[in-house]
Structure 1
Amino acid sequence: HDYWWNTKNKMDKFFAENGFDTINILHNNHYSYEGYGICGTRGWISDNGEPADQKVLAREAGRLALSIESALKAGLEPVVFLHYPPLFGNSCNYDMLEVLHKYGIKKCFYGHLHGKAHAYAINGIRDGVEYRLIASDFLHFDPLDITKIVQSDNL
């Protein structure tokens, strides 16, 4: 949790060398599933507005845009997955929200929040996007079948 890989090439090499042939990295790309493009990036949060955080936020927003664009070019409806929430309580990650709205994203799944932070999670529709916290402890370690959510038209 919250440990990140350095480069996609290094991870692909590690997977190959260790016999992991069912794991793929989502990085500036998408994966197709029944007419949907699974898109996403890590995201980021900025608690203090540090210049270094702004740089990471801009990079992550760019990665998300590239991921979504790859799905759209393939004629797929993008569904977004982020590690960090784009909304949390009264806080907004405007860099990520701008990308979601620019591309008309309808479904966004995210994690990162645990324990007492669940109380501030955004679950439901906000500004035309359905947000779902899918952190394992929030789901009581019972995996969520997201296909039912993705295929529903709650908007």
Structure 2
Amino acid sequence: MIYAIGDLHLSHSVKKPMCIFGDDWIDHHNKIKENWEKAITPKDAVLIPGDISWAMTTEEARADLLWIENLPGKKYLIRGNHDYWWKSITKMNQQFETLHFIQNQFFAHDQYAICGTRGWILPGLSEFSQQDNKIYQREVLRLQTSLDAAHNAGYTDIIVMMHYPPMNDKREPSDFTRLLERYKVKKVVFGHLHGEDSWIYAPVGDKEGITYELVSSDYLKFKPQIITS
């Protein structure tokens, strides 16, 4: 099976208690661990779409990554907007046995290709700047590179992880959704959104043959969600 849960916001090496964001976050890492170990076996995969650790350096993040490494299953990760520690993909992929970091490439799990990129805020917002557009276009290119790699390897069952939602709260198209449709992606999981004020506008459900799922850990009540059986 493939599960997903994003926005772990771990902080084993830095002082960043998540309880300041509400009582639901009290002892949240132990809630995740308990629910994870109840559901997930070593044969399963877990998609983690960003905001993994509050660490600022790879050295600080190591304790959080080892914590994830020691949980059951294979894990596929992309960068979130708070993952400042995220550096060399090659080095990170060499350091861990069950952690697989995605950027400009894909990984295969059973018949599925796992693709993804961080994403960014979308055009149309009043605060969307020229610099935002540069980052947005770079993230679109990264997603295309990941999808191209999976397509060229012959995969047709494609799951995409993004940290930011690939469409706005009005479910309007973006360069991301146009790519997802062109490559006939099956499912898209994303995080980033926290709290009911955001969740009610989350672009979830089926659109143009693609299923979009919000998997922020607090939205899931810190329980990994089944994506495929």
Asked whether the equivalents of residues 86 and 92 of structure 1 are also in contact (C-alpha less than 8 Å), the reply is no
Name 2:144's counterpart in structure 1: 65
Where does residue 108 of structure 1 map in the other structure?
188
- Counterpart in 2 of 1:143? 224
Is structure 2 residue 178 aligned with structure 1 residue 98?
A: yes
Residue 32 of structure 1 corresponds to: 108
SS of the residue corresponding to residue 135 of structure 2 reads helix
**Stretches of structure 1 lacking an aligned partner (at least 5 in a row):** 149-155
CA displacement, residues 22-55 of structure 1 (integer Å, 9 cap, x when unaligned) = 2221011111111110000000014422111111
Q: Work out which of the two has the higher radius of gyration on C-alpha atoms and give 1 or 2.
A: 2
Q: Identify unmatched segments of 5+ residues in structure 2.
A: 1-50, 52-80
Task: Indicate the larger mover: 51-60 or 73-82.
Answer: 73-82
Residue by residue over 1:73-114, the C-alpha shift from the partner in whole angstroms, topping out at 9 and shown as x without a partner, is: 222122111000012311646121121122122311111011
Q: TM-score, with normalisation over the residues of structure 2?
A: 0.58
Pairs aligned (count):
143
- 2:193 is matched by which residue type in structure 1? L
Distance in 2, Cα, partners of 1:52 & 1:11:
28
Aligned match of 2:204 in 108, 123, 146? 123
CA deviations over 1:108-149 (Å, ceiling 9, x no partner): 11110110211111221112221100111111111112123x
The structure showing larger relative contact order (alpha-carbon pairs under 8 Å, at least 6 residues apart) is: 2
- 2:40 is matched with which residue? none
Go from structure 1 to structure 2 and tell me whether the alpha carbon gap of 1:92 and 1:54 turns closer, same or farther (over 3 Å shift): farther
Give the TM-score normalised by structure 1. Answer: 0.83
Aligned with 1:140: secondary structure? coil
CA contact (8 A) 1:88 1:122 kept: yes
Counterpart code for 2:218: D
Distance 1:104 1:23, change over 3 A: same
Structure 2 residue matching 1:142: 3-state secondary structure: coil
2:104 is aligned with 1:23: no
When the two chains are superposed, the root-mean-square deviation of aligned CA atoms in Å is 1.8
Aligned pair partner of 2:135 in 50, 53, 56: 56
Further displaced range: 99-108 or 55-64: 99-108
